[in-house]
Amino acid sequence: MTVSNGQQMRIREILSRKPLTTLELDAVLREQGSPCPDDLARTLNVMRRKGLINGAPSPEKGAWVWWVEERTIP
């Protein structure tokens, strides 16, 4: 199953507020009543490869952390 553009926009909006681990993001999505229909870790990795979000392993948290960087337009 694929993730809709609306779901991707929701994920980007949440991650633009602050970096979150996969589990933290999953909890936020469930609280909002919109859990990811696909495997969230896989979805986030696909979005990272497309350049939609950023992600990196965090030794402090012992998990991947995901975020969206503000882009400035010249």
CB 20 within 8 A of CB 69: no
Please state whether 62 falls in left (phi above 0), alpha (psi between -120 and 50) or beta.
Answer: left
Can you give the pLDDT at residue 61?
Answer: 92
What's the pTM value of the predicted model, to 2 decimals?
0.85
Query: Among 1.10.760.10, 3.40.50.300, 3.60.15.10, 1.10.10.10, what is the CATH number of 5-67?
Result: 1.10.10.10
- Of residues 2 and 42, the one with the higher pLDDT is 42
Mean pLDDT of 41-69: 94
Domain boundaries, the chain: 5-67
- Of the pLDDT bands very low, low, confident and very high (cuts 50, 70, 90), residue 53 is very high
Mean pLDDT of 14-36: 92
Can you give the pLDDT at residue 1?
Answer: 45
